[in-house]
Chain A
Amino acid sequence: MSESVMPKPGPTEQAPGKPRSLAGDAWHDLRRSKIFWLAAVLIAVILLMAAWPSLFTSADPRDCVLARQHRGPSGAAIFGYDFQGCDVYAKTVYGARYSIVVGVFATLIAGLIGAVFGLAAGFFGGWLDAILSRFIDVMLGIPLLLGAIVLAKRLSADPQSNGVLAVTVTLGLLGWTTAARVLRSSVVAAKNQDYVAAARMLGAGNNRLLFRHILPNSMASYIVVLTILLGINIASEATLSFLGIGLKGNAISWGIAISEATGYVRVAAGPLIWPALFLAATVLAFIMLGDAVRDAFDPKLR
């Protein structure tokens, strides 16, 4: 399929008289949303941190000296040092990378699976819809943590791996159900629109209908769900790492840092609080972005 799947955002300056596209409308709304800009700035900073952590700190997160154990904040280390004498700020900055990598790729996997199920169930309907929807229900019945513990343990049997692949696949395989349901219902709604009927009468085939007419018009809510899922996945990664079944070994991650600091929280709270704050801010940013985008695309929900 050579057609672009997503509607291109309209030019920001519209020619007078020409109606704006849906995306154009949304962008118009988004620009005025304070929440959107707050989320966007936060996400930009975190993405930058994940890509080039050395922009933010010159300290090496693996340079740990026991003699500095639990030393408080200072000019050299603004967040102080943890139990092993590592720079908490450096560790927190470097920890962003795995969170983002796992979050993005797990969401991509979930998005792909969800798209296949949602489109097929919504567009073809009938018995296929019945089967796929029941399967989605079954998957929804699996508690995320329980499923993740079982899956991640199986996938990361090799003690040498740092667990990134295992966690990504696990979260991807378990996280697609809500997205698939949302996509299915918007596909069902779009399918019955007049323009689809018109295209069908003009002789458009299934492929053309699906990818040219229905998908672009169902995409908005889907992207919103995925954006929120991205935030949830980042939080889940930290949860799994905290429980010792996510990232492990020598990976630097917020979940691991929080887990390691828990035992000594009565002695030094900093190593626990800082990664937790960064984690919370990241998750919040993605969820706020999702909310803002949803509001823009779907004014009825406001």
Chain B
Amino acid sequence: MRGNGPWKMAAGVAAIALLAAGCSGGSSDDDETLPNTISIGIVEPESLIPSNSTEANGSSVLASLFYPLVRFDEQSNPYTVAAEAITHDKANKVWTIRLRSGFTFSNGEPVTVDNYINAWNYGAFGPNAQVASYFFSRIDGYAQMQSVDPDGTGPEKAPEPKATTLTGLRKLNNLTFTVTLSTGFAGWESVMGYDAFYPLPKAAFKSEGVLADNFGDAPIGNGPFKLKGTWQHDSKIVVEKVADFKGTVPKVDGITWKIYQDLGAQYADLVAGNLDVETKIPIESLASASGDLGQRLQKSPSSAFSFVGFPIYEKEYANKDVRRALSMAINREEMTDQIFLGSETPATSFVSPVVAGYRKNSCGQNCEYNPTLAKQIYTAANGPTDIKISYNSDGGHKAWVDAMCNQIKASLGVNCTGSPEPKLADLLKKVRDHKSVGMIRLAWTMDYPLMENYLGPLYTTDGSSNFYGYTNTAFDSLVREGSEAATPQAAIKKWQQAEDILADEMPVLPLRFGQNVYGFSAKVTNVSMDLFQKVDIYKIEVAN
């Protein structure tokens, strides 16, 4: 938020003053004073029920409590972790998963196939209203577990869905089960790396399909750490090492997830040494951060992709030359350097560099800053003389939208204004109603590390986030063929062909790729962050 800089500074000064005055208060049972434990800053998570968590904070905590079927290597390729092997048939439709034996939940229950099937059924069952439910939608029988409320938000209740279990899940024995998808999908193994696919112990359920009341505050997982006490809302979540963990053993004995309301306050704590890791340094502090932290300020790629959508349904933007010219009229590098102080990188492709199949500059000439050519094309295509860029005013977008407008004005000699809407939902509603909103600020964070996740939902004709009305049957079929291809390599080939269509037609204007800009205290070392904005809890350790 704008305008709170001085307060943050004041908070920082106060924190330092308290520290200097010796007000550390350190009681002996304070978790952070234990020798081999660390603290990581987060924002209050939405939920700690795996199938109800889709944001990075809850996901970080869950990653310490649970052990996933697959994790991802540096090239974003999945490798099995809790699973011993994952195989599939030729059509990528039936997937067989064999679990490693000997694993237990932190309460001692052995992990079996039933734990997965019950958890997934719970997540997919419509009336449970789990936010990550859509991850199960590729599994056979998902549709039968949903029901439509006949009168929307009205008094009538939605009828009970026809089924309470996914027909696509079949138990072969205690450690093996199969997943049948409704259509073939080459990337299914990667999808299963997501939080929603964690198993739940018997203790999680009060009765069949009904979660125990306090499970959300005290989840029990199959991971390397277990919860100490319960989730202390708006304060902290403390986890400690599970004895004799069968999987990869982390190097620290415990983690305190400290919950903050404000990134600035978190930064002040980090600099004062009260916090070990801050995963997102606020932009206002970036200028001073390298001085404050030195080598302890680091960057790593993240999956975020920011772009501006063209309202293709509007006549003015229907000509692809207009869209190309606008893309050439902006200087992405200048924007990331000056507005984001290098915390983001210019995007000249439609998929993030973090997924396999990414090609630098796949957008080619259309994403290169070239004001003269841009003006030529724009004039020839008779582009609009008044450009509007709509954005939601609660996300701190004004600065770069204004900068982008200034660049367009300078390059094309047209008028350009930023047009704020209070919330993204308000903006998207206008877009859905095909109101005249001009260009639209949008962003995408991946659900699973596959090129398809950057293509299917955003540009296919019935894509869930295709707000701008782009439709191209050749593109649709290439994405589908990729999903059904026999090998990941074949899939990537198809998807890259699909991306080339985008580069030619420019339904959106790629702008920036996100980065994790994080900092840590002198107490810890080997700090790294993954593509999902999570700290790697297996690598981090306490410095000697």
Which residues of A line the B interface, CB within 8 A?
Answer: 62, 64-67, 69, 83-85, 159-160, 242-244, 248-250, 259-260, 262-267
Contacts and interface: CB of A to CB of B under 8 A. Distances in A.
B336 to A, nearest CB: 11
Contact of A69 (B2, B338, B393, B409): B338
B413 interface: no
A171 B3 CA distance: 22
Interface stretch (B294-302, B414-422, B468-476): B414-422
Contact of A66 (B2, B393, B406): B406
Contacts of B262: none
Contact of A159 (B403, B407, B417, B422): B422
A247 to B, nearest CB: 13
A196 to B, nearest CB: 53
24 contacts: A62-B409, A64-B403, A65-B410, A66-B403, A66-B406, A67-B334, A67-B338, A84-B406, A85-B406, A159-B393, A159-B420, A159-B421, A159-B426, A242-B3, A243-B3, A244-B2, A248-B420, A249-B417, A249-B418, A250-B417, A259-B3, A263-B5, A263-B283, A263-B284
Contacts of B418: 249-250
Contacts of B417: 249-250
Contacts of A84: 399, 402-403, 406
Chain A contact surface mostly: loop
Interface string B422-436: 100010000000000
B406 A260 contact: no
A266 B288 contact: yes
B26 interface: no
Nearest to A85: B406
Interface of B: 2-3, 5-6, 283-284, 287-288, 331, 334-335, 338-339, 393, 399, 402-403, 406-407, 409-410, 417-422, 426
Most buried by A among B6, B406, B409: B406
A269 to B, nearest CB: 12
A262 B403 contact: no
Contacts, number: 62
Contacts of B287: 264, 266-267
Contact of B419 (A69, A83, A159): A159
Contacts of B5: 262-265
B3 A263 contact: yes
Contacts of A250: 417-418
Nearest to B337: A66
Given A66-B335, A84-B402, A159-B426, 20 more contacts: A65-B406, A66-B331, A84-B403, A84-B406, A159-B420, A242-B3, A243-B3, A244-B3, A249-B418, A249-B420, A259-B3, A260-B2, A260-B399, A262-B5, A263-B5, A263-B284, A264-B5, A264-B287, A265-B6, A266-B288
Contacts of A249: 417-420
Contacts of B406: 64-66, 84-85
A36 B328 CA distance: 57
Q: Which 5 A-B pairs rank lowest in CB-CB distance, beginning with the nearest? A: A64-B406, A263-B5, A263-B284, A66-B338, A259-B3
Contacts of A243: 3
Given A69-B338, A244-B3, A264 B419 contact: no
Contacts of B284: 263-264
Contacts of A160: 419
Contacts of A263: 2-3, 5, 283-284
A46 to B, nearest CB: 25
A243 B335 CA distance: 26
B522 to A, nearest CB: 23
B28 to A, nearest CB: 39
B2 A262 contact: yes
Contacts of B403: 64, 66, 84
Nearest to B423: A159
B399 A83 contact: yes
A144 B287 CA distance: 36
Nearest to B282: A263
Nearest to A242: B3
A248 B335 CA distance: 23
A265 B338 CA distance: 16
Contacts of A159: 393, 419-422, 426
A249 B421 CA distance: 10
B67 to A, nearest CB: 42
A83 B339 CA distance: 8
A242 B331 CA distance: 30
Nearest to B419: A160
B6 A262 contact: yes
Nearest to B1: A244
